[in-house]
Structure 1
Amino acid sequence: MRLKPMLTALFAAATLALPAAAQDCVGQNLFERMPPARLAELHAAAEGVPYRQGLFWRAEKGERRVTLLGTYHFADPRHGLAMDRFGPELDEAALLMVEAGPEEEARLTQAMAADPSLLVDPEGPTLPERFTDAEWKSLAAALEARGLPAVIASRLRPWYVAVILGVSPCMMRLIEERGDPGGLDHLLVERAQAAGVPVRALEPWDTVLTLFADMTPREEEDMIRAAMPAAEYADDYAVTLADTYFAGDSWLIWEFGRFDAYDHSGLSRAAVDEQMRLAQEKLMDRRNESWIEPIEQAAAEAAGQGKGVVIGFGALHLPGEHGVLRLLEERGWSISPIMLEEGTGDGG
């Protein structure tokens, strides 16, 4: 198993909580061929989600000032506009905070290289034993396309399989060629390091290994089933994600995943809704809540220096009742959108 590209994809897909893509991967935007009635359903499902639209925000409380950037973890030339806007601000910041900095990525890589059981279950039932023959055949083909032979894939831990299914085969190849995903997070880290601005992680290095630790076997299996439909047309799904992100409406792709699973996963609507609830709780809500205290502490330290803090994390962590913006608002922070000159990713 090619550890480096797999780990890079794991970090990116898990921290974004969305399928991964790259501008170099070719596909069709699925919204463009969706029946109007279905598209209206998606918009209706996303309607009313707090802070749903917008990628870049300012949070202020007294002398404390934080710039929050919803990121997309893979390379795209459209990141240039955000870097032009926020690069100079980052140069003057007291601190950059990201989900996982270089030290955390290095520690995770070392841990997984030293202990393969973090990803591979050497004792439990294999995936072929947990799924029907037809399900396993489809799953094995999807993983093979992502560089995971069936003999290895059969013993992978289900949470890891579900995450990797969200990364298109094209993106896996590009990661291997480039050595890193080249997303907005990495661009921010590179800029901070060049300017001598400290980089601090929002959470411990092993967070990604603990997110799904308390799931039941059935929940693990349904997580894979819910992820399979999009894996069948991953490049199209990935292009749709990228376009939706740069339009500043990432929550719409979250609802697309729900409706796609309704139609194609073989799970009941109730089972799909439960999977979406679990995913939101584990990938977003719990982590968002754990980030607030470190953010407030960093902002207070920076204010003492007469500076602000820049924070970059996956765009889906911004909106929602348990999103970072609403959680800060509930603690007395004033939230306002930051507009980019050309309108891409404007807050709304």
Structure 2
Amino acid sequence: MSLRRRLAALGAALLAAATLALPAAAARECVGQNLFERMPPERLAELDAAAEGVPYRQGLFWRAEKDGQRVTLLGTYHFADPRHDLTMDRFGPEIDEAALLMVEAGPEEEERLTRAMTADPTLLVDPDGPTLPERFTDAEWKSLSAALEARGLPAVIASRLRPWYVAVMLGVSPCMMRVIEERGDPGGLDHLLVERAEAAAVPVRALEPWDTVFTLFEGMTPREEEDMIRAAMPAAEYADDYAVTLADAYFSGDSWMIWEFGRFDAYDNSGLTRDEVDEQMRLAQEKLMDRRNESWIEPIERAAAEAAAQGKGVVIGFGALHLPGDHGVLRLLENRGWTISPVTVEGIGDGG
């Protein structure tokens, strides 16, 4: 979930650079079914068991305190949803009084990213290596190209996309892409936090450099790249249902269930063995979450100390999947002596 907002924006930049356009459509909410609600009880129990024991699995909003320093951590959902209003009602006034808002990428970083993509499409397109049709079977390429076509990426362009980008874009539903096209941005909680901070003249600082996304998947073997796409393909077949399930899982306060859903869905439908799926999940967690989480701790602690010197706190927003786990931000802070406590928002995290 954590990079999809920026990756969707990258997709828009790529299409602009190629003088292509996404299909025109009126902005609307994604319509689909919650996949958990129609899942056999025994499979749902398997997912629950797999998520059992993950530290800080439940909850989206947290407070971290240490030696008079105060940090409010908000797990975000990167796409538009009217339920974000509840979050902003609760934390908007806190942002107004904060010394600083920190997010994965602020306006400056997003602008630099867009400029770089427009100037150099090879950041996402490989002009020299083997094409995707050459790397997959005819049947695989037929399914993959259809999924990318539905996301506004014609086969002639999609055939040379870098595999890491293809894998992550498969998690963005065609409906989400249409909404982004109509709105001009994903409209997620991250953007709402930044808008509130800018209105209150509160500084906004990025947790990581603007070009982080281009370094995350370095060092993968060709087979690992291909299996990354294979593992992502099943959910792309019912992307709007997946989008609804993702949003509902987030607002129920249990984003980790979507992570396990992706694993079990790949077990059933990707054609990979369980060991191969588990390796893909391990790589994805390490590259998309764990390494980044660890790199954020020092900037967070430095910002908290600066804010405390002003008698203020810091508000930080980042994708909700960065919160839980042994290498999640909350456990990493706890291990460094911070006291972690949940913050409740009525209507979110209680099944609503």
Shift of 1:7: 4.7
User: Partner residue of 1:19?
Assistant: none
CA distance in 1, matches of 2:341, 2:7: 37
User: Partner residue of 1:37?
Assistant: 42
Residues 55, 346 of structure 1: 8 Å contact kept: no
Q: How does 1:139-218 map to 2 (within 5 A)?
A: 139-218=144-223
Deviation track 1:73-113 (CA, whole Å, cap 9, x = no partner) reads 11000001110000000000000000001100010111111
One of 317, 335, 349 as aligned partner of 1:345: 349
Deviation track 1:193-230 (CA, whole Å, cap 9, x = no partner) reads 00000000000000011100111100000000000000
Structure 1 pair 286–346 and aligned structure 2 pair: CA distance change class (3 A): farther
Q: For structure 1, which runs of at least 5 residues remain unmatched after alignment?
A: 12-21
Shift of 1:341: 3.0
Whether 1:112 and 2:117 are equivalent positions in the alignment is yes
Identity within the alignment, %: 86
Corresponding residue SS for 2:63: strand
Q: How does 1:1-348 map to 2 (within 5 A)?
A: 7-8=8-9, 24-342=29-347, 344-345=348-349
Residues 142, 165 of structure 1: 8 Å contact kept: yes
Corresponding residue SS for 2:50: helix
Residues 5, 175 of structure 1: 8 Å contact kept: no
Deviation track 1:26-74 (CA, whole Å, cap 9, x = no partner) reads 0000011110000000000000000000000000001110000000011
CA distance in 1, matches of 2:10, 2:65: 34
Shift of 1:119: 0.5
CA distance in 1, matches of 2:153, 2:289: 27
Which has the larger displacement, 313-322 or 109-118? 109-118
CA distance in 2, matches of 1:23, 1:291: 35
Shift of 1:301: 0.1
Q: Give the TM-score, by structure 2 length.
A: 0.92
- How well do the aligned residues superpose, as a CA RMSD in angstroms? 1.6
Structure 1 pair 185–6 and aligned structure 2 pair: CA distance change class (3 A): closer
Residues 61, 344 of structure 2: 8 Å contact kept: yes
Q: Give the TM-score, by structure 1 length.
A: 0.93
CA distance in 2, matches of 1:345, 1:187: 19
The one-letter code matched in structure 2 to 1:245 is Y
CA distance in 2, matches of 1:24, 1:297: 39
Shift of 1:345: 2.5
CA distance in 2, matches of 1:174, 1:43: 32
Q: For structure 2, which runs of at least 5 residues remain unmatched after alignment?
A: 13-26
User: May I ask how many residue pairs the two structures share in their alignment?
Assistant: 333
CA distance in 2, matches of 1:7, 1:136: 22
Residues 67, 310 of structure 1: 8 Å contact kept: yes
User: Partner residue of 2:18?
Assistant: none
Residues 56, 346 of structure 1: 8 Å contact kept: no
Residues 338, 346 of structure 1: 8 Å contact kept: no
User: Partner residue of 1:14?
Assistant: none
Structure 1 pair 219–5 and aligned structure 2 pair: CA distance change class (3 A): closer
CA distance in 2, matches of 1:264, 1:167: 18
CA distance in 2, matches of 1:345, 1:333: 23
CA distance in 2, matches of 1:126, 1:181: 29
Residues 66, 308 of structure 1: 8 Å contact kept: yes
Residues 224, 280 of structure 2: 8 Å contact kept: yes
CA distance in 2, matches of 1:40, 1:9: 37
Residues 337, 346 of structure 1: 8 Å contact kept: no
Residues 5, 180 of structure 1: 8 Å contact kept: no
CA distance in 1, matches of 2:32, 2:326: 33
Residues 8, 177 of structure 2: 8 Å contact kept: no
CA distance in 2, matches of 1:33, 1:291: 38
Corresponding residue SS for 1:70: strand
Residues 165, 228 of structure 1: 8 Å contact kept: yes
**Displaced runs of 4+ in structure 1, greater than 6 A?**
none
Shift of 1:340: 1.4
Shift of 1:317: 0.1
User: Partner residue of 2:24?
Assistant: none
CA distance in 1, matches of 2:177, 2:342: 34
CA distance in 2, matches of 1:6, 1:242: 18
